[in-house]
Structure 1
Amino acid sequence: MTDSLLKNKHLLWRAGFGVGINQVDNLKNKNIKALINELCKEDSFDEITYDTPDIDPVMDYMNTTTPADKKKEMQQVYRDQNNELNLNFLNKIVNSKEQMREKMAFFWHGHFASRVNNPKFSKQLLNTIRKNALGNFKDLLFEVSQSPAMLNFLNNQQNKKDHPNENFAREVMELFTMGRGNYTEKDVREGARAFTGWSYDKDGNFKERKNLHDEGTKTFLGKTGNFSGTDVLNIILEQKATSQFITTKIYKFFVNENVDHNIVNTLSTNFYNSGYDIKKLMSDIFSSSWFYDQRNIGNRIKSPIELMAGIMRILPMHIQNPENLIVYQKLLGQMLLYPPNVAGWPNGKSWIDSSTLMLRLQVPQIWSGLRPLEYSPRQDDDIDMGMKSKETALNKTFKNPNITIDWDRVDKIFAHKNCEDYLIQNVQSLDMNSVKDFSDKSIKMNIINLMSTPEYQLM
């Protein structure tokens, strides 16, 4: 395998969701700078939305006065809309030419983790994150912090003068910006006072309710004044700890779980000095020579979405029942727009346990129609989605995605190529004899068997 093929493939997995079927032919001759520019390119922004009509008039099914049948109807509409958002985001991840934008959006949607029932709020937050994914972290932080999804998820409507709720202020510092150890409990209390009155109206527009805002003097991160929420976010962005925290998290996600502190310190300083320019930070990472060191290649376990998207990008497929892809997300432990909690998804080895590993290795065979799906969601799963027991979960809601793969096209593209060079990151650790033993020598079986190896789980 050529050196440039190895590097290009690594870049496509880290800055996007793997090699697309259209990229196979000229991948080994592609100049890395040209590929980075291609990945960075942003076309005119288009929102992800859903087609299921909204319920009219808007009513709150949490409201005790709403009749039971109306609540049920509303819950069903919400579920349909949220499922549509999920699948439309997955579709962008798989098919968008703007792979780096969607990869960064995927990262940020785990970083600014929020889980609200209201699809309108979810849609707004998702598009805020996608729009600013490669923009400026300050804009991203402000827009996310003022989104109804986040204000709702972190209880900031309950944050009023004389009765501050600290949840929002705490998570903004601990999870979104500075990380633990860089602020005190007093900063949390004073920050919460500054965010009093941050809320939104019934249409989901941000609103500062002046009558609920604490106008008193606050001391926050060593500064004193009559601070508002805006002041607090600006003070947080002045802290070098914020740049350090974000850069470290990006390095762990895009480069290596084992942090090289010298590299991260340099990146972090440059990120801070650029005024938090995300695209510049990502370009610095992807165009540096250390990014392509052997120790950074094939060392990350693909998250379930990365695994699914990678298969969908390289195998041209028609999916009859896409809604069942949500079942796979659930079974594998990562549902888009539905993080387990405010800290988002844990990465790395946490993706693999005895049940998920077996399913991961079998997805290529199941999707190719070579074996049935024999799994049901874990019972302790946080993501119950209204499915009550294992039996009903599978019997009632489960149909196979009914996938038809265009193997003729795959045959043409991979004729006279080593499939493993395009599918596996660290080919030297692969036992090709065992792959070929299970194969009938066809390109189709070779690819399915390669995708069913432990090596394919790594990127």
Structure 2
Amino acid sequence: MAASSLINNKHLLWRAGFGPGIFQVDDLEQKDITNFIKELFKEDGFTEINYDTPDVEIIDYMNDKTPAEKKKEIQKINREQNNELNLNFLNKMINSNEQMREKMAFFWHGHFASRVINPKFNRQLLNSIRKNALGNFKDLLFEVSQSPAMLNFLNNQQNKKDHPNENFAREVMELFTMGRGNYTEKDVREGARAFTGWGYDKTGNFKERKKLHDEEVKTFLGKTGNFTGTDVLNSILEQKATAKFICSKVYRFFVNENIDRDQVNALSESFYNSNYDIKRLMTEIFSSSWFYDQKNIGNRIKSPIELMAGMMRMLPMNIQNPENLIVYQKLLGQMLLYPPNVSGWPNGKSWIDSSTLMLRLQIPQIWSGLRPLEYSPRQDDDIDMGMKSRETALNKAFKTPNITIDWNRVEKTFAHKKCEDYLIQSVKTPDMNSVKNFSDNSIKMNVINLMSTPEYQLM
């Protein structure tokens, strides 16, 4: 197979998934790209992500505790359940055959960013996003907008007639659908009135609280009527600006941060006319010849989750303490379920600074047991969320990751191959002489050293 086909197959697997798995290395040379696309979009039947950490019956279990002790215990349970959700989502990214579903869910997880403490709310939102990841954007938008996690995060539980809260309506338009410049401040105010009464009950079920809803006439996006939240979302979906905003964001994430206007306009038109069919949109992107243009290959810096998941797909490993992976997420600045704000995570060069780059380059050696973790969180790191002392304590206790890598399988897989052809996606390949100067020329050391290069940071 031509070298360009090998590069294209790797490109597809990194963008439409989390990189090639070790079991796919031979296929990278042989398989036609259309077969890879079919496999990526294959759906095995949806299974929800859950947590096994037990809930606590607060009344029965805690009636002998002080309020402070109860609060501390509840916080501990919430943290354990959220950590388990986090790791189970990461595990899906690494091991699921439905790579496109999980990559698309990862994209929507950053697009519909929310940050709440309640693990049940997080679980419900995460599974709504995963279930609809390749479905219809209208269904996805409605489920997310009516989820207790989002209604809680954006304060719509407090949105009542006579005292409307504009936060939810503003973010729905600015960040989730149309983008700035396609609505007015009056649309925000009128939209907020339409969403009055949208909330949830004690068990986390969506509820339209009629007594709290503003029944008066509203004017929204040029139309006048006694609108509800449902009417507002439908009006937003009627705007071609919504299709363009979503396609622009998808293009930046999956293709190139520098947008090709003609390509995005064509995708937007098609997306709008398909009634927001996400799977069709992504198939069109990955089947287009321009997706495989050289300018679109190896031009994206892997996010921390993409970097970690990609390494774990290529290196078969047994992790005795998987909760340690959350430490890496925090240190690298991308912790699943905890985006920095409602805008989600930034991309591109924002992932790299002097400290995170050093840790990124050292992870292959740390995970291989060749060096300890010697890294402390930045004092201004937003993701610490007031837990700096705890993070520092975690860091001190966490010198060995308790990871065992099956190097025999890696050696057999790459026995007659150039490791760099399969591990590096950048158009510029590392200087192999310098890579080999730092190794004993074994396949194991070549793989570790290649994964420790700046070029491996790109996809």
Regarding TM over 0.5, the answer is yes
- Whether contact under 8 Å (2:377, 2:392) holds in the other structure is no
Contact kept, 8 Å, 2:374 with 2:399, in 1: the verdict is no
In structure 2, the partner of 1:40 is: 41
> Sequence identity of aligned pairs in percent?
81
Aligned counterparts, 1:77-116, within 5 A: 77-116=77-116
Give, in whole Å, the separation in 1 of the partners of 2:318 and 2:282. Answer: 33
| Secondary structure, aligned partner of 2:383 | coil
Superposition pairs for residues 147-162 of structure 1, below 5 Å? 147-162=147-162
1:23 aligns to 2:24 (yes or no): yes
Correspondence 1:268 to 2:268: yes
Q: Does residue 330 in structure 1 map to residue 336 in structure 2?
A: no
CA distance in structure 2 between the partners assigned to 1:255 and 1:393 by the alignment: 37
Q: Does residue 75 of the first structure (1) align with residue 70 of the second (2)?
A: no
Q: Distance in 2 between matches of 1:178 and 1:391?
A: 41
Q: 1:66 to 1:11 in 2, by over 3 A?
A: farther
Is the contact between residue 110 and residue 344 of structure 1 (CA under 8 Å) also seen in structure 2?
yes
The question of whether the paired residues in 2 share the 8 Å contact of 1:324 and 1:400 is answered with: no
- The offset of 1:394, in angstroms, is 2.2
**For residue 29 of structure 1, what is the amino acid of its counterpart?**
Q
Counterpart AA for 2:29: K
Q: Is the 8 A contact 1:101 1:130 kept in 2?
A: yes
CA deviation profile, 1:98-149 (whole Å, cap 9, x unmatched): 0000000000000000000000000000000000000000000000000000
What is the SS of the residue equivalent to 1:231?
A: helix
Q: Match of 1:224, SS?
A: strand
Deviates more, 1:436-445 or 1:151-160: 436-445
1:215 aligns with: 215
Q: C-alpha separation between the residues in 2 aligned to 1:340 and 1:22?
A: 35
The alignment yields a C-alpha RMSD, in angstroms, of 1.5
Matched residue SS, 1:5:
helix
2-structure distance, mates of 1:388, 1:437: 39
Distance (whole Å) between structure 2 residues aligned to residue 331 and residue 88 of structure 1:
19
8 Å Cα contact 1:323/1:401 also seen in 2: no
Query: Which secondary structure does the structure 1 equivalent of 2:384 belong to?
Result: coil
1:160-180 deviation line (CA, Å, top 9, x unaligned): 000000000000000000000
1:87 Cα shift?
Answer: 0.3
- CA distance in 2 between partners of 1:454 and 1:262 (Å): 32
The answer (yes or no) to whether the contact 2:331–2:356 under 8 Å persists in 1 is: yes
Q: Which moved more, 1:425-434 or 1:95-104?
A: 425-434
Deviation beyond 6 Å, 4+ runs, structure 1: none
Cα distance change of structure 1 residues 420 and 427 upon mapping to structure 2, 3 Å threshold: farther
Distance 1:366 1:454 in 2: 16
Distance 2:382 2:259 in 1: 30
TM-score by length of 1: 0.97
Alignment of 1:30-429 (within 5 A): 30-57=31-58, 67-384=67-384, 387-389=387-389, 391-396=392-397, 398=398, 400-426=400-426, 428-429=428-429
Residue 362 of structure 2: SS of its match in structure 1? Answer: helix
| Cα distance change, pair 101–430 in 1 and its aligned pair in 2 (3 A) | same
Contact 1:178 1:242 in 2 (8 A): yes
Residue by residue, what CA displacement relative to the aligned partner does 1:369-395 show, whole Å, maximum 9, x if unpaired?
011100011221222266342643423
The one-letter code matched in structure 1 to 2:157 is Q
Q: Partners of 1:190 and 1:57 in 2: how far apart? A: 41
One-letter code of the match for 2:68?
A: A
> What's the TM-score once normalised by structure 2's chain length?
0.97
Greater shift in the superposed pair: 22-31 or 384-393: 384-393
SS of residue in 1 equivalent to 2:219: strand
Q: How far did 1:438 drift?
A: 1.2
Partner of 2:8: 7
Partner letter of residue 19 of structure 1?
P
Which amino acid in the other structure matches residue 138 of structure 1? Answer: K
Report how far residue 43 of structure 1 moved: 1.1
Amino acid in the other structure paired with 1:423: L
**d(CA) in 2 for partners of 1:309 and 1:454?**
17
For 2:254, the aligned partner's letter is F
Q: 1:446 matched to which residue of 2?
A: 446
Q: Sort the Cα spacing of 1:2 and 1:140 in 2 relative to 1 into closer, same or farther, 3 A.
A: same
Distance, in Å, in 2 between the alignment partners of 1:85 and 1:385 is 19
Q: Aligned residue pairs: how many?
A: 454
1:20-52: CA deviation from partner (whole Å, max 9, x where unpaired): 011011211111111001000111100000001
SS in 1 for 2:236: helix
**d(CA) in 1 for partners of 2:25 and 2:396?**
39
Deviations 1:281-302 (A, max 9, x none): 0000000000000000000000
1:318 is paired with a residue whose SS is strand
Give me the whole-angstrom Cα distance separating, in 2, the residues matched to 1:152 and 1:58.
24
What runs of 5+ residues in structure 1 fail to find an aligned partner?
none
CA drift of 1:428 comes to 3.9
| 2:437 alignment counterpart | 437
Contact kept, 8 Å, 1:324 with 1:399, in 2: the verdict is no
The amino acid of 1:8's aligned partner reads N
Report the Cα distance in structure 2 between the residues aligned to 1:97 and 1:29, rounded to whole angstroms: 19
Gaps of 5+ in 2: none
| Contact 2:428-2:455 within 8 A present in 1 as well | no
Identify if the C-alpha distance between structure 1 residues 146 and 66 changes in structure 2 by more than 3 Å, giving closer, same or farther: farther
SS at match of 1:322: coil
* Contact 2:115-2:339 within 8 A present in 1 as well: yes
1:65-107 per-position Cα deviation (integer Å, ceiling 9, x unaligned): 9811111100000000000000000000000010000000000
Determine if contact 2:159/2:195 at 8 Å carries over to the other structure.
yes
Cα contact 2:426–2:455 (8 A) shared by 1? yes
Give the distance between the partners of 2:395 and 2:153, measured in 1 at CA: 30
